Structure 1
């Protein structure tokens, strides 16, 4: 029985072992830099310089940790990368909420320990033991039929990554298609998801498969393939507990308690991404106005707050990353560039141009995430968008 996390790490290990010398001269200093900034954060907070402490931890993320996110996703898992990324935002929020120094220090210590834990993986290729194991294959609240379907998806996606690493892009894409149809559609997992969860949830999984099919057909996207595969598997694993089977001959052998089955209509609980985008754009404009008024220091802090409090905390960043990790990286880069432009004292016109481009891409993100049930036609259009965008990147 194959566990995809292990398969993914095995297939990618060979690629990165040849880079171990390079990594040892780059990743270790980055980790040390972050640790020093985190220590400075605690020191500033202890001295009651809360704004400086928040600024220090935020810059540790923007200036340093962003360079580690991709390697952590590939060598360990997307969840580990996201968990560590979120810790920076949590430390920042705790400082803003004036939490006790001991609590802030405890979270800083956790993040430093996590950095030390991943360092040998990045520097020397040593894998973490039992990191991010799937538990979908052993949970009592997941029907045996869905466990078998998940295993099919897991195995085929592992084969896709192996073929992609070998440069067999069309074969890799075919394996993803097989995982989509054999594991998700033909097993009637998609049908049950639509009937017992929501059409929006089913459309989201379909979107991720479509994105991955297009992505694996293109070279030079191993990082993005890794991120999207691990996120897709995690999203599928998250929807399986309590999911009813569709036919009597599908083996259940697992309790399907009504407590585990969400209501089919969850529309009222869905995030209004257009509203989130409006908030981001307004906050960016307010920060630029503050910068124009001569307060660059706090304007930079406002940009960083917008990233953590709106883009990340709303779940928008993670949702976009699960569908198109390259686009997520593009959006993140706007915040980094705005901060860099402010630090360099650049004209307001350059900031406005950057903000305008961010606004346009955020609107694309709203369209991607959708504001209601998505049709097969919208999925087709989304897949074509990915193919066209990848084609332009190669030109």
Structure 2
């Protein structure tokens, strides 16, 4: 059983109290309102919001010789945002659970319709799964392919969206902090992502996307890749450690998603090449395929502005049920640095009590193989999450 340091519990507790301090939808004087979106203060065209998220996980796992159980906060985050009309937005997020540190710390400008300029610590525009909010993930953890996604980066970006098309690009350096399974060290370079939705109707949409990333590394700060299991509380499935001699990275992403009413499917493939000084390059990759069904009939949404799925639309009264399945693989098996392959089959059920509260239950079958360092292994994992977002 995990012991929770006071530092990790104090602010999540404060956030939880703020979420329930006023009844949902209750409006106070002077433009102060507390509802499902947190605490909002409005003055004319200026709006300030204080919110957060709490994801509490309980996991039981067994993989090869590793087995055990754990209870801990996966996320305990406070987030502050502000906007001036539709032109200026500011956001600051601080994470207090597991890999604690700063997340979103940026300012964005929308000088004209369809164009956004953003500077600061932000999600790199590369992968739709990586860019998706953790509050709306279908399963408790992202897929094994997310091992190769860049997560956050410190830099500047521009995004253009029009009808069914988006194009985003930016230049980034290392992020302000690590994320679970993703090192803040990603080097210096750029990323570009384009999406197209050939079908986009109220109940039916189809999404296609592609992205490219190029980075260069400081020899003193080599990249590393860690394959997280179906629960962040379980032991890691694979690790590269710091990759000596790494000089450059090129990564490619292809993505597909579609939904018709309460049924959604999506898939991604990410390939990464690491160039090394005086050594052969390394080629790693990952992919996943996923399907989900809102048993209670809610439809899946799509963001035209961001060019990505955004989860199911949950009514105020809630009571929604979702079932999902995903198969994913990560391949770190290269002759120059053999760290093996991993695969995970995950089945999940989610109960949405309302827009802000949900309970997830996942079962996963894990496999690792082809590593010269560790024997082949398989195992089972179960994780339950209680989640509040406000």
Q: What is the TM-score with the length of structure 1 in the denominator? A: 0.23
User: Which has the larger helix fraction?
Assistant: 1
User: Which has the larger strand fraction?
Assistant: 2
Higher relative contact order (CA 8 A, sep 6+): 1
Q: What is the TM-score with the length of structure 2 in the denominator? A: 0.23
Larger radius of gyration: 1
